[in-house]
Amino acid sequence: MSSCSCGHEHDQAINPLIPTRAKVIKIVEETPDVKTFFISTLDDKKPFDPNPGQLGMLSLPDIGEAMFSVTDKGENHIEMAIKAIGKLTYTLHEIEVGQEVGIRGPYGNGFPLDYFKGKDILFIGGGIGLAPVRSLIMHCLRNREDYGKLTVVYGARSKADLCFKDDLFNNWPKVPNMEVFITIDKEEEGWDGHVGFVPAYVEELAPKPQATVLCGPPIMIKFTLPILQKMGFADKDIITTLEMRMKCGIGKCGRCNIGSKYVCLDGPVFSMEELKDLPPEY
Amino acid sequence: MATMEQLTLQLRETAREILESKKAAAVIGWEKGTFWYTTTPVVLTKPEDTERLVWNEYCLNNLAKYLLDFQHSNEKVAIFARGCDSRGINRLIQDKQIDRDKVLIIGLACPGMKDDKKARELGQNADIPLAKKCQECAYPDALVYDLWIGEPKEVAKPVPEAKVFPEVEAIEQMTPDDKYASFAANYEKCLRCYACRNVCPACNCKECIFGNSSKEWSAKANNLSENMFFALTRALHVAGRCIQCGECERICPVNIPIMLLNKKIIQDIDRLFGPYEAGLDPEDKMPLGSFEFTDPEEFM
Amino acid sequence: MFTFQESEIKNLLNALAKEYKVFVPAKVGDESKFVPYDDNVELYWDRNVLLSVKDKFFPHTEPMYKFKTKRKTVEIEPLASKDEPVLLFGVRSCDLQALNCLDQVFLTKGFVDEFYRTKRDQATIVALGCNEAEDTCFCTAMGVDPQKGNGADIQAYRTQGKFGMEALTEKGQKIIDILKSYLKEENLQVPETQGFQLQPDMDGVAEKLKGMFDAELWAEVAPTCLNCGACTYICPTCHCFDISQDVRGEEGFKYRCWDSCMFEEYTLMAGGHNPRPSKKERVRNRFMHKLCYFPERYNMLLCTGCGRCLNVCPVNLHITSIIGKVKEAN
């Protein structure tokens, strides 16, 4: 059920292209160019109930609309971590708490939760790539007994560029049977953690999970994949989540296709095995 | 005088020799199309493919635009050129979009191309008229070339003439309301497919303002206002650079008389800056790209 | 079959215009397209129209909702669709099949596009058979029957100075009932469509294309293409769209409009990455989409053989020649 500006409850999407009104209730500065926006409906409910890995279309109607991954949800809100990189996102970075926005969703297939059950999972993220993966990590933490050992290997350009610092340094290291490994690209004053690129760090750590979730800039994926394959992971056990230019979010406007699949509808989550069957156009 | 069939053989031989001896990495020409009244521009890289080249009365496409695809390549490219193609090539050289020494121009004398739309209508046995753009052509033969196909011709140095177009004058005589109505009637039909822009040798911006919707100079929405904005902007952007090849008007899917705007601007430039024809000589000074103390300065 | 004399057509259209907004194929200046019927319209039956009925269901520009943005508040007001029964009289089989393709896109796979659905539901379609193919027609090769539109409410024929009509659905029967007094029941011999010149062989093309992503074909063919949008906009099955906004001060409206996969910024991402950076990728994607990806997803070709792209492409780059090259390729 969602409420729209007419004040009545409707079944999800009278028209899937028309957003509902919502508001930003909290903004957290993750890095100099990434902020997490906490979004609720005007009557303080979740705009929709996403599964881990699903997406939502956020808009400032007079500026534009774009697709973002939902990084977590609460009882009455959803969270989206957004990097300032284009017109809409730069404007979003200037808004204040209380700003009303348009929101619609949930879109996308989300992570295959049943597939992950009972498994030791390795999460590999680079930069803002941790955002979609985080929704899955949070889900695992809330249902801790359903999942095995959780290992996070995450890197960013610098200490300032690490997203979700609170989780990385305070919350997650405290979780039983969970390990967090963080790296930054270059030496930096005040950082005595690991220095180096994520793919090399993964090789160094040589974890032995039963499933891997991988998300980051194309170059990180390009170098990490061969390492995972060298470590003996099967394509069906390497899961990634992709990004594309999106407009409709519902698999109709045509532009986010990889072969016959739409990233907004059949994705964004794909296993390496599925991707092998699709043209390498992403 | 050699027929076009005979010249076709010479064309193929020349192209083959160029590719075999690696004088150029590619040859741009025309090949047979699906129907008797069509040909397709083609970029050939293999010597054996040169058998596909044709030279007939339906080689309507202006080839100059394809040179832009070789802008960032280090290799030389050969291109067949009649008058209109050679003017297009001169324009690209003048705009510094391509270096003269990267292009191997194979000159042709053009008898005028036939109207493919009328050909389709009238059938193969009818007397097909020349294409409109060819009826108005002042320079059928290549104005610049490295090689020549057929009987070498003495091409006189072109002297630009001031132009007066009856169809433009007819509109100039209209009342403002009628002018607007005529303009609106034409551009209401526009699909904004940008075929005119993409076929035009004078349109060679790396990034077109109509191809960048995030900057919001123009909207993708199709309405009269946006369509007119596109038409006027493009006409003014190619002002002083239009070679009157007429391709824009020929290929418009909805038959908008695009050349009206271009001809009006050509007429105005002749009046303001003296007779000028774009693309006759890469060394000539462009009226809107150079300043003379005698230029009109009505606003000063 | 129910028939009437061709000379009577305006009387019947007038009768229908009392109950529906009637669209008919007409000559308008140099073009032909479907226009609202009135007595002055120059009806055009000889050939298929240049501008297909796509825009009656999927307009070139379609406002979706109004918005107001004042300081921190946002108001959104969906724009109601017009409640209007529409009759399209004289849609050819190729264009009707194109609507079937659009139905797959807009009505299936979990989300229903309300803008499209409303128009589709309100429309009654009278298909018109073709007695003669143009040189650019190849509908039969794409599985379309030129004398029998797939999904029509009425199938009409035009032969021997008469129009013949057969109701195929309840909506169609309603039309027959309205026109009862003008119609005569008789058998009318429907001619077989003559004159096909193009017969591309589609056998195995979709499967073969699946393995041809890296084929040399694309690098050979792409340079000719100008990457304009003429083929995509004139094509009755092409359906890509963009979403943008028209803002005036604190008010505006959001609309969707036609877009083309041929344009460079079609897949350009905010950070600058473009999965289809050059002509080659875009040309390949267009033909793969029509002949391989769409059939894989929806079990039908995204080309109905109407031949418009053959007419309209500035450089005569034809889907039929691509099909030929695909079949020839190793």
Q: How many CA atoms lie within 13 A of B229 on its CB side?
A: 13
What digits encode the pLDDT tens for the residues B58-109?
Answer: 999 999 999 999 999 999 999 999 999 999 999 999 999 999 999 999 999 9
Q: Is the pLDDT of residue A10 over 60?
A: no
Question: Which of the four pLDDT bands, split at 50, 70 and 90, describes residue A269?
Answer: very high
Cβ contact (<8 Å) for A260 and C293? yes
Q: A248 at the C interface (CB within 8 A)? A: yes
Query: In chain A, what are the domain boundaries?
Result: 2-106, 113-241
What digits encode the pLDDT tens for the residues C5-43?
Answer: 999 999 999 999 999 999 999 999 889 999 999 999 999
- Name C122's Cβ contacts closer than 8 Å, sequence gap at least 6: C83, C84, C85, C86
Give C-chain residues touching A98 at CB under 8 angstroms.
72
Average pLDDT, chain A: 92
Cα–Cα distance, B64 to B81 (Å, whole number): 8
pLDDT of residue B88: 96
Quote the ipTM score.
Answer: 0.93
What digits encode the pLDDT tens for the residues B125-143?
Answer: 999 999 999 999 999 999 9
Cβ contact (<8 Å) for C76 and A102? yes
Short-list C56, C64, C180, C70, CA closest to C122: C56
**φ, ψ for residue C296, nearest 5 deg:** -65, -35
Three-state secondary-structure class, residue C145: strand
Cβ contact (<8 Å) for C110 and A61? no
Q: Please state whether A44 falls in left (phi above 0), alpha (psi between -120 and 50) or beta.
A: left
Three-state secondary-structure class, residue C120: helix
Q: What is the DSSP pairing of strand C2-5 with strand C73-78? A: unpaired
Does domain A2-106 fall into CATH 2.140.10.10?
no
pLDDT of residue A1: 37
Q: B41 at the C interface (CB within 8 A)? A: yes
Q: Please state whether C69 falls in left (phi above 0), alpha (psi between -120 and 50) or beta.
A: beta
Q: Is the pLDDT of residue A5 over 60?
A: no
Q: How many helices (H) and strands (E) does chain A have?
A: 7, 17
With tokens 């996403």, the residue in question is A50
Report residues of chain C scoring pLDDT below 50: none
Give Rg (Cα) of chain B. 20
Q: What is the DSSP letter of C189?
A: P
Measured between CA atoms, the residue of chain B closest to residue C199 is: B34
What digits encode the pLDDT tens for the residues B250-280?
Answer: 999 999 999 999 999 999 999 988 899 999 9
Cβ contact (<8 Å) for C314 and B195? yes
Cβ contact (<8 Å) for C314 and B43? no
- Residues A104-115 have a mean pLDDT of 95
Cβ contact (<8 Å) for B193 and C260? yes
CA distance B173 to chain C (A): 23
Q: Is the pLDDT of residue A202 over 90?
A: yes
- Name C254's Cβ contacts closer than 8 Å, sequence gap at least 6: A61, A65, C63, C64, C65, C66, C67, C243, C244, C245
Cβ contact (<8 Å) for B191 and C60? yes
Cα–Cα distance, B296 to B294 (Å, whole number): 6
Cα–Cα distance, A264 to B24 (Å, whole number): 45
Distance from chain centroid for Cα A267:
13
Query: In chain C, what are the domain boundaries?
Result: 2-328
Cα–Cα distance, B70 to B65 (Å, whole number): 10
What digits encode the pLDDT tens for the residues A160-193?
Answer: 999 999 999 999 999 999 999 999 999 999 999 9
Cα–Cα distance, B270 to C92 (Å, whole number): 50
Q: C242 at the B interface (CB within 8 A)? A: yes
Give C-chain residues touching B251 at CB under 8 angstroms.
230, 314
Asked if B247 contacts B137 with a C-beta cutoff of 8 angstroms, the reply is no
pLDDT of residue B1: 67
Residues 116-175 of A with CB under 8 A from C: none
In degrees, rounded to 5, the angle at the alpha carbon of residue A186 between the alpha carbons of residues A180 and A190 is 70
For residue C85, give Cα distances in angstroms to A131, C40, C92, C171: 48, 22, 20, 11
Q: What is the CATH number of domain A113-241?
A: 3.40.50.80
pLDDT of residue B297: 79
pLDDT of residue B221: 92
With tokens 């921190």, the residue in question is C72
Give B-chain residues touching C224 at CB under 8 angstroms.
40-43
Asked if C126 contacts C152 with a C-beta cutoff of 8 angstroms, the reply is yes
DSSP notation for C22-42:
EEEEEEETTEEEEEE--TT--
For residue B148, the one-letter residue type is: W
How many beta carbons lie within 10 A of that of residue A121, not counting itself?
23
Short-list A172, A132, A169, CA closest to A151: A172
CA distance B170 to chain C (A): 19
Token digits for B297?
A: 């300065």
Predicted TM-score (pTM) of this structure = 0.94
Give C-chain residues touching B42 at CB under 8 angstroms.
223-224
- Buried residues in B134-164 as b, exposed as e (16+ CB within 10 A): beebebebbbbbeebbbeeeebeebeeeebe
Cα–Cα distance, A208 to A195 (Å, whole number): 22
pLDDT of residue A13: 45
Cβ contact (<8 Å) for A102 and C110? no
Give C-chain residues touching B69 at CB under 8 angstroms.
223, 279
Q: B133 at the C interface (CB within 8 A)? A: no
Beta-bridge mates of residue C247:
C252
How many beta carbons lie within 10 A of that of residue C270, not counting itself?
18
Q: Is the pLDDT of residue A3 over 70?
A: no
In degrees, rounded to 5, the angle at the alpha carbon of residue C208 between the alpha carbons of residues C205 and C210 is 110
HEC per residue, B36-53 = CCCEEEEEECCHHHHHHE
Q: Is the pLDDT of residue A261 over 90?
A: yes
Cα–Cα distance, B122 to B124 (Å, whole number): 7
pLDDT of residue C283: 97
Sign of CA dihedral C213, C216, C221, C224: positive
Short-list A228, A34, A236, A249, CA closest to A131: A34
Q: Is the pLDDT of residue A9 over 50?
A: no
